Amino acid sequence: MGSLLGIDIGTTGCKVVAVDDQGIRHRAYEEYPLSIPEFGAAELDTEYVWQALQGAIRQVTGECNEPPEALCVSVLGEAVTAVGKDRKPLAPTIVSFDKRPNIYADQLFQRISKEHIRRITGLEPLPHYAIFKWMWISNKSSEIYNKAWKLLCYGELVAVRLGFEPLIDYSMAARTLAFDLDSLNWSPEILSAAEIEVTKLPEIVAPGTSIGRLSDDISADLGLAPNATFVVGGLDQACAAVGAGLDVGGKSLLSMGTTGVLAEIFQGDQQHAGAIPVIPHVTRSERIAIAGTPAGGAVLRWFRDIINPTIDSERLSEISITYSDIIDSAKKCSTDMIFVPHLGGSRIAFNDPDAKGAIVGLTFGTDRCELVRSILEGVAFEISLMKDVMRKDGFRIDELIAVGGGSKSKLWLQIMADILNVSIASTESADVAAFGAARIAAEAMDIGFDTRLLLIRDRFDPSAESSELYADKRERFKAVYESILIPN
């Protein structure tokens, strides 16, 4: 078989892989800055992301013996960009943990009840979903809303840049909180309550839909095969589950990327009602339960950028300190410190989008080793509480397969295993979502893929002694969160 291109567009960077019947042959990564222009905001420069993505694609295709025949995109959820009739962005992308749109949650719930939204969407109505970003643009930036041709996520943005109409798959449409699970289409009731015009939204299609072939000019510019096929992908965590080979009744997913995620696959005809978001999966008739937190690699990036000199967007590629350097600095110490990683709020663990982060236990003797160790543990404590909620909702979470950049760290995975008290198998790969996108493209092109191409590199079992010690510290973690709650 020829090669296929898998793309993963995340909150802090994009990954591109070329895959053939031997697995991942070439890869590239480009980082981009996350902008905080005002309190509560979190934005991406859409053009910067597009330039970074083009650079990563050209780097990979330049190394391929044969140009890739198709491409498919895995994308971050809930990131919204207003696009004009000229198909160019009218404003920066608003990302998932931008808190400014949260003020429209109560407004929506006054017009349509939370319970009715749950019945339509299958989701617990939380303020990070895309519909509140649409409402924020409509109300706070009405001029932009009125000029907008479409309100798009990154999968559709890439399609538009490649010359296609914007099409969104079921998994991404579900993360807007305006997707009707029964009709597999936009909900007129929810859109009416939000006062959002359906004409400003992309058409919804099944994941894996081949939507066309690239023009010769665009294919040549990006180093793709003439008339390369563009295939609709889906939500990054769903694509990661495909890349990791997850199936019904098998391992659950631990994604250690920019965000921290637990996910599990189950049959699409099973009924589910609980706190854990359940959306259509990107393959067959299955569904995927996804519990997430903004606290993941994003916390390490925050720490890196604080201890580094000021770095502008033009010099991101010159950063000398790596995430591995940061994590490895915590190898030779333990700490009593508690780090509450709520820099972007808390979702499933505490259901508190306005939660704030905290570091407790600092002294003049505190060194970098202890501080980093507390960060790694704090993220793991948050994910362990997510595990509890998932189990309460009936999901197993009894054996995990770790993916994402964090899965390369033996130290962090052992901390995770001890705190979650669950065995973890690791792929040691940050490219699993991109690999999953390539697998979706392969299926659309009717090309067989060996699901064993992504190998398990290591396994981490919980230590009974460490798990017991961490159980006590987890209670302190919860107590610290309670102690810093700001009264309404």
Band (73; pLDDT cuts 50, 70, 90): very high
Q: Decide which of 156 and 1 is more confident.
A: 156
Give tens-digit pLDDT for 88-117: 999 999 999 999 999 999 999 999 999 999
Residue-number span of the structural domain to which 124 is assigned: 4-244
Tokens 């949650």 — which residue?
Answer: 105
| pLDDT above 60 for 317 | no
Which of these three, 213, 228, 244, is where a domain ends?
A: 244
Which of these three, 209, 244, 279, is where a domain ends?
A: 244
Question: Are 360 and 219 members of one domain?
Answer: no
Question: Are 166 and 78 members of one domain?
Answer: yes
| pLDDT above 60 for 3 | yes
| pLDDT above 90 for 362 | yes
CATH number at residue 49: 3.30.420.40
Question: Are 30 and 156 members of one domain?
Answer: yes
pLDDT above 90 coverage of the chain, percent: 82
Question: Are 217 and 139 members of one domain?
Answer: yes
Q: In this predicted structure, which of 147-156, 294-303, 304-313 has the lowest mean pLDDT?
A: 304-313
Which of these three, 244, 262, 287, is where a domain ends?
A: 244
Please report the pLDDT score of residue 170 as a whole number: 98
Q: What letter would DSSP give residue 80?
A: B
439 inside domain? no
CB neighbours of 300 closer than 8 A, spacing ≥ 6? 323, 326, 327, 375
181 inside domain? yes
C-alpha pair distances (Å), 442 with each of 158, 168, 197, 284, 477: 19, 19, 35, 14, 44
Question: Are 338 and 228 members of one domain?
Answer: no
Question: Are 240 and 301 members of one domain?
Answer: no
249 inside domain? no
440 inside domain? no
139 inside domain? yes
Please report the pLDDT score of residue 448 as a whole number: 73
Cβ contact 406:382 at 8 Å: no
Question: Are 134 and 213 members of one domain?
Answer: yes
Which stretch, 119-128, 375-384, 402-411, has highest mean pLDDT?
375-384
Which of these, 422, 403, 455, lies nearest to 15 by C-alpha position? Answer: 403
449 inside domain? no
Tokens 């009264």 — which residue?
Answer: 487
Question: Are 350 and 237 members of one domain?
Answer: no
Length of the chain: 488
338 inside domain? yes
Q: Structurally, how many domains does the chain consist of?
A: 2
Q: In this predicted structure, which of 197-211, 299-313, 350-364 has the lowest mean pLDDT?
A: 299-313
Question: Are 368 and 478 members of one domain?
Answer: yes
Question: Are 20 and 81 members of one domain?
Answer: yes
Give tens-digit pLDDT for 318-347: 555 788 889 999 998 999 999 999 999 999
CB neighbours of 40 closer than 8 A, spacing ≥ 6? 98, 99, 100, 102
| pLDDT above 60 for 310 | no
The whole-angstrom separation of Cα 328 and Cα 263 is 27
441 inside domain? no
Please report the pLDDT score of residue 450 as a whole number: 66
Question: Are 152 and 12 members of one domain?
Answer: yes
Question: Are 339 and 468 members of one domain?
Answer: yes
